[in-house]
């Protein structure tokens, strides 16, 4: 599923209904859908049982992102779909940020991320959708506003750069540990 602007509206409606039926609060997060033309602020319900002081991992991000690491397992590889910053490195008094990335075997190219400042320095194409959660110094999820959009863009680009750097370092390490064949 590659969220379009129209689909985001439907997903938001479904998320609000889910929260109301489960009697749980929602946290407003930023969604950068692979096929979206803009950043959307979306309501993300808190998972049942975590309604008091929810952390980013306590949110139902799976209502917006495909987040199944394996079709045969109910466990999620958070290292593969999540990047956390205690605070954004460029801003001393910033909130914490968590970026969840869709986990799909063939993710679509994200059409919005290339328009973000700094994205031209990425070594690979941005793929999939991203849900960004803001949290306070105590790690409690907080609502995102439009005033946060530039930080959201910066955090997404930084998370992609960090992921790409880790992948390149892993490839380099595997090549250096492979014995030479004569």
Asked if residue 168 has pLDDT above 90, the reply is: no
Beta strands in the chain (DSSP E): 26-32, 40-45, 82-85, 96-101, 130-135, 141-142
Q: Give the up-direction half-sphere exposure of residue 101: CA atoms within 13 A in the CB hemisphere.
A: 26
| pLDDT tens-place string over residues 36-51 | 999 999 999 999 888 8
Backbone angles phi, psi at 31, to 5 degrees: -115, 125
Range from 67-71, 83-87, 108-112, 176-180 that averages highest in pLDDT: 108-112
CA angle, corner 119, sides to 116 and 124, nearest 5? 140
Round the average pLDDT of the chain to a whole number and report it.
82
pLDDT at residue 67 in the model? 62
72-91 pLDDT, tens digit each? 545 444 545 668 877 655 65
- Alpha carbons 28 and 130: distance in angstroms, whole number: 14
Percentage above 70 pLDDT, the chain? 74
- The mean pLDDT value for 49-59 works out to 90
Nearest-angstrom CA–CA distance, 109 and 92: 32
In DSSP notation, 10-43 reads HHHHHHHHHHHHHT--EEEEEEE-TB-SS-EEEE
User: Residue 99 above 90 pLDDT?
Assistant: yes
16-41 pLDDT tens trace: 999 999 999 999 999 999 999 999 99
The answer to pTM > 0.85 is no
Residues 152-174 have a mean pLDDT of: 69
pLDDT at 165 over 80: no
Q: Distance between CA atoms of 121 and 99, rounded to whole angstroms?
A: 19
């Amino acid at each position: 599923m590659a969220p379009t602007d129209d689909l985001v509206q439907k997903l938001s409606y479904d998320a609000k209904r889910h929260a109301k039926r489960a009697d749980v609060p929602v946290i407003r997060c930023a969604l950068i859908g692979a096929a979206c033309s803009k950043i959307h602020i979306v309501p993300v319900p808190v998972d049942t049982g975590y309604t008091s002081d929810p952390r980013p991992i306590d949110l139902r991000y799976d209502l917006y992102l495909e987040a199944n690491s394996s079709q045969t397992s109910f466990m999620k590889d958070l290292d593969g779909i999540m990047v956390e910053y205690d605070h954004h490195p460029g801003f001393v008094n910033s909130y914490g940020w968590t970026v969840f990335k869709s986990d799909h075997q063939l993710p679509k190219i994200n059409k919005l991320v290339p328009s973000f400042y700094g994205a031209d320095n990425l070594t690979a194409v941005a793929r999939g959708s991203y849900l960004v959660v803001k949290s306070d110094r105590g790690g409690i999820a907080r609502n995102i506003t439009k005033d946060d959009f530039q930080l959201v863009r910066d955090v997404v680009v930084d998370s992609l750069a960090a992921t790409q750097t880790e992948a390149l370092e892993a490839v380099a390490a595997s090549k250096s540990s492979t014995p030479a064949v004569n």
